[in-house]
Chain A
Amino acid sequence: MFDYNFHWRPVFKSVPDLLDAGLLTLQVAILSMLIGIVIGLGLAVIRMNMRGPLYWFATSWVELARNTPALFQLFFFGFGLGAFGLHLTPYTIVLAGLSFNCAGYLAENFRGGFQAVPDTQRRAGLSLGMTSWQVYTRILIPQVFRIVYHPLTNQLVWAVLMSSLGMLVGFRELSGETQFFASRTYRIFEYFAVTAVIYYVLVKLILLASRLLAVRLFRY
């Protein structure tokens, strides 16, 4: 009933390649998070303070990012823009798609974070003669980051896992690389089993790093 013969040797031989691809996964996830944080902060601030076209632009971004499949968002940057003659490299497609998605989710996290900081903090900063920019960067955002720190970690984990969609636009990150080897050797189960372990370890390392960083960052 179960006559599948496991062949692990080819998988183990390509572990170094898989680990390299894992680094690429991590890289694109972290980069898209950084871009997502910057844009997400901007979107949140726009949505809280502005009306008119900018507000609608930011709101549409958040709505699209959160309410359509991440895969479709990747396809938009890949095949969608491709249809208009704009051909991005697989790396750029994944980076753009993930950043778009992260920015949308993070914008809502940040908005909740800003609302959790009492308005009196803003007033106290202004009353000291600070500009709005200084109030945001020195007083509000540091507090918001503490509030959204764990959601932020979750989003990074999410980005790592979601980057596996990159395989569908020809990006050879961890999943793409696995798929490549698996289809050459037909050891599909073995390859994806090992890759699952690599993803698992990667995520655990991120969670550990996040916990250590929190101890270092939040001493209050």
Chain B
Amino acid sequence: MIEIRGLHKYFGALHVLRGIDLDVPKGEVLSVIGASGSGKSTLLYCINGLEPIQKGAIRVDGTDVHAKGTNLNKLRQRMGMVFQQWNSFPHLTALENVALAPRIVKGKSRAEAREIAAYQLQHVGLGDKLNAYPNALSGGQQQRLAIARALAMEPDYMLFDEATSALDPELVGEVLDTMRVLAEEGMTMICVTHEMGFARDVSDRVAYFHEGVIAEIGPPTQIFGAPRSELTRKFLAKVR
């Protein structure tokens, strides 16, 4: 379970997150929507400790992410992250990309790591690309590679930071399909997304971010069917 309490985050004078309270229980798929600059991605970076916070607390399964003495490397192994820019490691093949962290972080044997990697690549539909270098893969394939790489660490949580927004339109579907599969398998996911269809169909809850606060959160039927906040209504009217 991810618990966020009274979270504030500043970039210099810029107050990006202005008091976030949020619980994400195991097994939930939460979509985070909202305009660019509303703090959605920053929230993900704070959750896995890539960005420091100025006030409040984030606990993952009881561990305070930003407490002194928290082993972030250990913690991050439980939280896979997929970024907007598909950042596969260009100097490694698909298989090596996925096998690297299980081997050097988790200490698996080379053979075992490669087995895990092959399995996860199959899982995201790249079973025929094991020995391809990223530059021979399309954007969508690279993003699925990034998902497989995160999954190979057997995380309890997956954080998606606009995983499809840098992709060509025709490649978005394959990545969303992969994310759908994960959701169906019961993975706990926080998906920052601009894909309203995905948010509506796949998530258990949808959070609408507005200027650093959660303006509204609820099941997709509420957010997309009968939003209670005027802000949500205005935003959805614009993106539809």
Query: In whole angstroms, how far apart are the Cα atoms of A121 and B86 in the complex?
Result: 10
Q: Which residue of B lies closest to A123 (CB)?
A: B50
Q: Which residue of B lies closest to A218 (CB)?
A: B91
Q: How far is the CB of B114 from chain A (nearest CB, A)?
A: 16
Number of A-B contacts (CB under 8 A): 66
By the criterion CB–CB under 8 Å, are A124 and B89 in contact? yes
Contacts of A138 in B (CB 8 A): 100, 104
Number of interface residues of B (CB under 8 A): 29
By the criterion CB–CB under 8 Å, are A128 and B150 in contact? yes
Q: How far is the CB of A117 from chain B (nearest CB, A)?
A: 9
Q: Which of B15-23, B54-62, B71-79 contacts A (4 or more CB under 8 A)?
A: B71-79
Query: In whole angstroms, how far apart are the Cα atoms of A65 and B72 in the complex?
Result: 39
Q: Which residue of A lies closest to B44 (CB)?
A: A127
By the criterion CB–CB under 8 Å, are A143 and B90 in contact? yes
Q: Does A126 contact B (CB under 8 A)?
A: yes
By the criterion CB–CB under 8 Å, are B91 and A131 in contact? no
By the criterion CB–CB under 8 Å, are A134 and B146 in contact? no
Binary interface encoding of chain A residues 136-155 relative to chain B, with 1 for a CB under 8 A from any of its CBs, else 0? 00110011001000000000
Q: Does A49 contact B (CB under 8 A)?
A: no
By the criterion CB–CB under 8 Å, are A130 and B91 in contact? no
Which chain B residues in 67-85 approach chain A with CB under 8 Å? Answer: 72-77, 79-81, 83, 85
Query: In whole angstroms, how far apart are the Cα atoms of A128 and B98 in the complex?
Result: 10
By the criterion CB–CB under 8 Å, are B76 and A128 in contact? yes
Query: In whole angstroms, how far apart are the Cα atoms of A164 and B89 in the complex?
Result: 41
Query: In whole angstroms, how far apart are the Cα atoms of A144 and B157 in the complex?
Result: 32
Q: Which residue of B lies closest to A141 (CB)?
A: B91
Binary interface encoding of chain A residues 83-115 relative to chain B, with 1 for a CB under 8 A from any of its CBs, else 0? 000000000000000000000000000000000
Q: List 25 A-B contacts (CB under 8 A).
A: A118-B87, A120-B83, A121-B89, A124-B87, A124-B89, A125-B89, A126-B72, A127-B50, A127-B76, A127-B79, A127-B80, A129-B73, A129-B74, A129-B76, A129-B101, A130-B73, A130-B101, A130-B105, A138-B100, A139-B89, A142-B91, A220-B90, A220-B91, A220-B133, A220-B134
Give 7 nearest A-B pairs by CB, closest first.
Answer: A129-B77, A220-B133, A127-B81, A128-B101, A120-B87, A129-B76, A124-B87
